Chain A
Amino acid sequence: MPCKFCSEKPVIQLPNSERKLCKSCFIKYFERKAIRTINKYKLIEENDHVVIAVSGGKDSLSLLHLLKKYCQKRNNKIKLSVLQIDEGIKDYRDISIEDTKKFCKSFGIKLHIASYEKETGKTLDKIKKQHKKTIACSMCGVLRRYLLNKYSRKLKATKLATGHNLDDEAQSIIMNQFRHNIALSARLGPITGVKKDPRFIPRIKPFYFLTEKEVATYAYLHNLISKFNECPYCEESNRFFIRDMLNDVEAKYPGTKHSIVASFIEVLPLLKKKYKNQEINSCRLCKEPTSSEICSACKVKEKIKS
């Protein structure tokens, strides 16, 4: 059956719907939906300096593509830079860094790289070799968040944009529920920041209401998908278990992921209110902002010292 709006061949059936769209109708739909999110939640405003966290994967390259287009339409009153984290994972990250370099060059955007090795003296490969029993993602996630905030602040960013999509958000919401980690959920949403603090750069997620499959489709249509490449440590993460579980439920009950995120958006203002008075200290060791005495990144650094 052709696209609902024209007679071209469809490239996607929208999730949770009977609608089938052709290439050009889908791209219009996708970009409108991302821009509606940007406008509704005031993710980007004039004179912002947006640092885009790019991994070289389909989500972040699609975000780069979309934001570049968005800024050009607004006479480039918004500044864009790209920040990539180099965890030091052989045959994985080194490949995606090359991809990112290529794209940044073709988009004419400056690329900054922050590495675990420079920050901690060790690559993730080395850390993992010395700490075989620790789940890589638990250390890696902490260090990545830390470096993204620290370096985007150094770059004088006003916003840090990530390619998180609806699937990612639904997974985080459910993970926090399963572990009774509601204070962490208060930090989710299309724009983060429970309270304003100049040490924390607000993170924005323009793809918040777009599914992983929609982002992948957009990426494919723009030639942004490179060869399949997966982090060698990713099997270890509990997130991937939750991801598969949600996709199984979604196949049986279409719309589940949208419902999880929509329900969450409804209670998010209450969560933010509840956690708004949480103190933000300066880490005793590195002076970065944290809710405890020593930040989680310094705890990881301590652990991997030896």
Chain B
Amino acid sequence: MPKIYLEKEDKILEVKELLVSDILKSLKINPTTVLITKNNELILDDVKLSKEDRISIIPVISGG
């Protein structure tokens, strides 16, 4: 299952969805509020992951 690193919470989750937009939906993350990277490269939410993939979710909104 793909591994998701949440940068804000600093934790790693495993999800069953493969399509990035489905992952965001299931984590209740608004796509306009994050960047998504795979191997340090930005990817869009229409990307389909493979089971071994690991992606990071970086919030673009920061307080202060």
Contact B64–A92 (Cβ < 8 Å) = yes
Contact B62–A230 (Cβ < 8 Å) = yes
- Give min CB distance, A180 to chain B, whole Å: 25
For the complex, what is the distance from the CA of A237 to the CA of B61, rounded to whole Å? 14
What is the interface size of chain A, counting residues whose CB is below 8 A from a CB of the partner? 39
Q: Tell me which residues across on chain B come within 8 A of A221, comparing CB atoms.
A: 42
Pick from B30, B35, B46 the residue with the most CB of A within 10 Å.
B35
Q: Judge whether A66 is part of the interface by a CB distance below 8 angstroms.
A: no
For the complex, what is the distance from the CA of A220 to the CA of B7, rounded to whole Å? 14
Pick from A1, A92, A213 the residue with the most CB of B within 10 Å.
A213
Answer whether A251 and B62 are a contact pair too, CB < 8 Å, given A216-B35, A220-B35, A221-B42: no
Contact B62–A11 (Cβ < 8 Å) = no
Contact B61–A251 (Cβ < 8 Å) = no
Q: Tell me which residues across on chain B come within 8 A of A240, comparing CB atoms.
A: 63
Answer whether A217 and B35 are a contact pair too, CB < 8 Å, given A12-B42, A55-B64, A92-B64: yes
- Give min CB distance, B36 to chain A, whole Å: 10
Contact A228–B58 (Cβ < 8 Å) = yes
Q: Judge whether A57 is part of the interface by a CB distance below 8 angstroms.
A: yes
Contact A250–B32 (Cβ < 8 Å) = yes
Contact B63–A234 (Cβ < 8 Å) = yes
Q: Judge whether B50 is part of the interface by a CB distance below 8 angstroms.
A: no
Contact B60–A247 (Cβ < 8 Å) = no
Which residues of A from 191 to 229 have beta carbons under 8 Å from B?
Answer: 211-213, 215-217, 220-221, 225, 227-229
Q: Judge whether A91 is part of the interface by a CB distance below 8 angstroms.
A: no
Q: Mark B1-25, 1 if CB is under 8 A from A, else 0.
A: 0000001100000000000000000
**Looking across the interface, which residue of chain B has its beta carbon closest to that of A89?**
B64
Contact A247–B30 (Cβ < 8 Å) = yes
Q: Mark A244-281, 1 if CB is under 8 A from B, else 0.
A: 00011011000000000000000000000000000000
Q: Mark A79-123, 1 if CB is under 8 A from B, else 0.
A: 000000000010010000000000000000000000000000000
Q: Judge whether A49 is part of the interface by a CB distance below 8 angstroms.
A: no
Q: Tell me which residues across on chain A come within 8 A of B58, comparing CB atoms.
A: 216, 220, 225, 228
- Give min CB distance, B43 to chain A, whole Å: 8
Residue in B31, B43, B62 whose beta carbon sits within 8 Å of that of A57 in the complex: B62
Contact A247–B32 (Cβ < 8 Å) = yes
- Give min CB distance, A5 to chain B, whole Å: 16
Interface residues of A (CB under 8 A from B): 1, 9-13, 15, 20, 23, 55, 57-58, 89, 92, 167, 211-213, 215-217, 220-221, 225, 227-231, 233-235, 237, 240, 243, 247-248, 250-251
Additional A-B contact list (8), CB under 8 Å, known A229-B62, A250-B30: A11-B41, A11-B43, A13-B44, A212-B61, A213-B32, A228-B58, A228-B62, A234-B64
> 28 interchain pairs (CB within 8 A)?
A1-B46, A10-B44, A11-B44, A12-B42, A12-B44, A20-B44, A55-B64, A57-B62, A92-B64, A167-B61, A211-B32, A212-B61, A213-B33, A216-B35, A220-B35, A221-B42, A225-B58, A227-B7, A228-B8, A228-B59, A229-B62, A230-B8, A230-B62, A231-B64, A237-B63, A247-B30, A250-B30, A251-B32
